[in-house]
Amino acid sequence: MAIVRKDRVLLVVLSDRLSGLIEKGEITPRYYNPGELFHEVHLLLTNDDAPDTKILQETVGGARLFVHNLPAGRSLFWKSACWRPRLLRNWALSGVEMARRIRPDVIRCYGNNLNGFLAAQMRRALGTPLVISLHVNADEDLRGRAKTFSERLLSYAALGIEEESLRAADLVLPVYEPIVPYLEKRRIAPYRVCYNFLNATDIRRKSDYRIRSNAKLIGVGRQFAAKNPRNVLSALKELPGVSLTLVGNGPLHGELRSLAAKSGLGGRVVFVPRMENDALCRSLPEYDLFVAHSEFFEIGKAVLEALLAGLPVVINRRQGRPVPEFRDGVVRLVPDSPEGYLSGIRTLLANEEARRQLGTTAWTVAQGKYAPAVTEAVYAKVYRSFLN
């Protein structure tokens, strides 16, 4: 008698509003189903978002896609006395019953907030393996950067649910090396660094490092305090003929536009509030340098894409511990000042061989660690270990 194989089912619990990612064009094929190991993928959102499932289908490949909601909302924060775990369990019961009906083979969380807490309750009730990926070092990037009362309240309230879910997980996947100290401080094991799965179809390698006419720079990222490219704009004033394209939006967008106009850079700085990721990745080889500012401990997704394209990157040295992924000469690190950026950019623009060497080193290192085929295979192997 033939054995009928049971469909493999994945349950992904998310806090993200996926409509926002769709709007920004940041949909990565198979992101929620690497290797297309699963025949059925359920996305459970801890909010009331209603993303377009036709567009979202790409993230699960050929699997059947289902989207569910279990909204938390602001009222739950206060009802649970600032997310006290024992007071959140009644809210989580509905999610546990949902998981019981879905009968997943693996439960997965991207990020670790209320979604992680909910998934931990499922893990305890059903015994289903739980895998959580961490995308920030919460001690540094949330609690360490909290300035307002509400930011501090939220970041410290999250501590209890963060640790409870991490201890319930069968495996934790920090997506960058700087997240490891956060786990080691709490003695969380096992864990494995697995870099984020990026655009697999549109990142192209830069092959020509000649500057055809005027040099073209590009910077990509959300425009807010920790990623403020102000010093890059100041350096540009001393680089006649050089143009800069800034892709992104955020609270500082208007201020940056005003600064460019007041500095006489209006004709040389192009602001692109939004660009689909596919188009952005395809365009990277057309530029001469990628310039960025970041105070974060983690390497940004946009920087990874530039490295994978072999585009020379100029970025600041951050205060505090250096970013581990910036070793091996993959980027040109400069002091975080107009003079620092000016020196780094000017040196590279004047030397084609230096640009080629930096871009080639970046591409070589990135292919071994961050290439989409590499990272997708790693995630597929992780899932397969639990399926087996």
Model confidence pLDDT, tens digit, residues 240-283: 999 999 999 999 999 999 999 999 997 899 999 999 999 999 99
The answer to whether position 205 is within a domain reads no
Q: Which residues of the chain have pLDDT under 70?
A: 1-5
The answer to whether position 379 is within a domain reads yes
* 39 shares its domain with 153: yes
The pLDDT assigned to 2 comes to 43
Distance, in Å, from the CA atom of 17 to the CA atom of 199, rounded to the nearest integer, reads: 20
Around 125, how many Cα atoms within 13 Å sit in the side-chain half-sphere? Answer: 20
The pLDDT assigned to 259 comes to 94
The pLDDT assigned to 101 comes to 97
Q: Residue 101's domain spans which residues?
A: 9-198+372-387
* 146 shares its domain with 29: yes
* 174 shares its domain with 304: no
* 267 shares its domain with 342: yes
* 47 shares its domain with 175: yes
Q: In which element (H, E) is residue 360 found? A: helix 352-369
The answer to whether position 2 is within a domain reads no
Backbone phi, psi, residue 39, to 5°: -90, -20
* 158 shares its domain with 273: no
The answer to whether position 209 is within a domain reads no
* 51 shares its domain with 193: yes
* 243 shares its domain with 309: yes
* 229 shares its domain with 309: yes
Instruction: Work out how many domains the chain is built from and give that number.
Output: 2
* 174 shares its domain with 82: yes
The answer to whether position 203 is within a domain reads no
The answer to whether position 310 is within a domain reads yes
Distance, in Å, from the CA atom of 1 to the CA atom of 197, rounded to the nearest integer, reads: 40
* 169 shares its domain with 239: no
The answer to whether position 211 is within a domain reads no
Instruction: For residue 178, give the amino acid letter.
Output: P
Model confidence pLDDT, tens digit, residues 149-195: 888 888 888 888 999 999 999 999 999 999 999 999 999 999 999 99
The pLDDT assigned to 147 comes to 85
* 191 shares its domain with 225: no
Distance, in Å, from the CA atom of 236 to the CA atom of 250, rounded to the nearest integer, reads: 21
The pLDDT assigned to 25 comes to 86
Q: What is the CATH number of the domain that holds 57?
A: 3.40.50.2000
The answer to whether position 159 is within a domain reads yes
Distance, in Å, from the CA atom of 321 to the CA atom of 380, rounded to the nearest integer, reads: 32
The model carries a pTM of 0.91
The pLDDT assigned to 30 comes to 95
